[in-house]
Amino acid sequence: MTRLSQLVMDQGIQTVLVDASGVLYTDDGVVPGVPETIQSLRDAGCYVIVVTNNSGHSQAMIADRLTRFGIPIDPQDVISSGLGLSEDAQCRQIIEGRSVFVYGRASSHGYVTMAGGQIVDEVGDSEVVVMMASLKADNQAVYESVRAHVIATGVPVVCANPDQYIWNQEGLYKVCGYYATQLEKETSCSMTWIGKPFCNFSMVVHDILMRRNISVDNNVLFIDDNIHNVDRLRSDLGILGGCVSLTGLMNHYGMDIIQIGQNTDYVFETLAGEISTN
């Protein structure tokens, strides 16, 4: 029976990139055995970095949540898609020096200011709309106001969270990427996407790793609950890829291990569970 810590030692993997929601935790809390698994990787000398499409919260907030789950991590070891706003040249060019309305929470504003944007409270005052997170309250009203502004002015839109659904206790739940896709269809707006599974974000991850003197090769393993994210990062960067089958989207999309394994090197039941090799 092979598990992640053994795989890392057997294959000489030096860095593990891991998604957060659906891999480290679910709506029910931390996935059983994950804190111990992460610690075993660190004990083996492996560098663990979180790579997430959570652009609705700052790196510090994401790190704090993981620490409360028993997975302590430095905020600098959280690569959020929100960082793509400042790291990706095209995104930065769209945002820098312009007034920006953020579709999302105040906790995501830091990513916009890092890119040189100036936050405005009213969508009608904005030169750019950046979609960071769907809202639990008044989401439809905010969406309609953004839609009207985009139609009236043609302002560019950047979506920094391409995830269309997450799984919670009530089933598949529509999130930011769903509404960005809907906005793009309804307005034919100039939409720029950043985050998994887009290649511009793969390059952001590549550049951050290289600045940390991490060789981007098959000594790096990326693990996600979305096979499309795994396939993209694996293909773009020439790294290893693994997908969890029981705790995230793939389980709820009804994909079996054989289907998942066609686009990845490893399939994990959970991050702490058994591994199948493609």
- The CATH number assigned to the domain holding 91 equals 3.40.50.1000
Tokens of 161: 């969270």
Give the mean pLDDT per block of 10 residues along the chain (278 residues).
Answer: 87 97 92 96 96 97 98 98 98 98 96 98 98 93 97 97 81 89 94 97 98 96 94 96 85 56 81 83
Does some domain include residue 64? no
160 Cβ contact partners less than 8 Å away, ≥ 6 residues apart: 55, 81, 82, 84, 85, 91, 108, 111, 130, 131, 132, 194, 195
Does some domain include residue 189? yes
Does some domain include residue 34? yes
- Domain stop point among 169, 193, 217: 193
Neighbours of 173 (CB within 10 A): 13
Residue 189 shares a structural domain with residue 214? no
47 Cβ contact partners less than 8 Å away, ≥ 6 residues apart: 14, 15, 16, 214
Rounded to whole angstroms, the Cα distance separating 159 from 128 reads 11
Residue 94 shares a structural domain with residue 181? yes
Rounded to whole angstroms, the Cα distance separating 235 from 278 reads 15
pTM of the prediction? 0.94
- Three-state DSSP class for 235? helix
Residue-number span of the structural domain to which 204 is assigned: 4-53+197-277
152 Cβ contact partners less than 8 Å away, ≥ 6 residues apart: none
Residue 104 shares a structural domain with residue 167? yes
13 Cβ contact partners less than 8 Å away, ≥ 6 residues apart: 7, 46, 219, 220, 221, 240
Does some domain include residue 75? no
94 Cβ contact partners less than 8 Å away, ≥ 6 residues apart: 128, 156, 158, 192
Does some domain include residue 112? yes
177 Cβ contact partners less than 8 Å away, ≥ 6 residues apart: 53, 159, 161, 162, 163, 164
Does an H or E element contain 64, and which? Answer: helix 59-68
Q: 7-23: string of b/e by CB count within 10 Å (b at 16+)?
A: bbeeeebbbbbbbbbbb
> Does residue 16 contact residue 26 with C-beta atoms inside 8 Å?
no
Dmax (CA) for the chain in angstroms is 59
At 166 the pLDDT is 77
Residue 105 shares a structural domain with residue 43? no
Residue 235 shares a structural domain with residue 266? yes
Residue 151 shares a structural domain with residue 249? no
Residue 113 shares a structural domain with residue 186? yes
- Domain stop point among 193, 219, 249: 193
Count of domains forming the chain: 2
Does some domain include residue 73? no
> Does residue 26 contact residue 250 with C-beta atoms inside 8 Å?
no
- Domain stop point among 193, 216, 250: 193
Residue 217 shares a structural domain with residue 241? yes
Residue type, 121: D
Residue 94 shares a structural domain with residue 173? yes
Does some domain include residue 74? no
142 Cβ contact partners less than 8 Å away, ≥ 6 residues apart: 103, 123, 135
Residue 207 shares a structural domain with residue 189? no
Does some domain include residue 77? no
Residue 90 shares a structural domain with residue 136? yes
Residue 149 shares a structural domain with residue 214? no
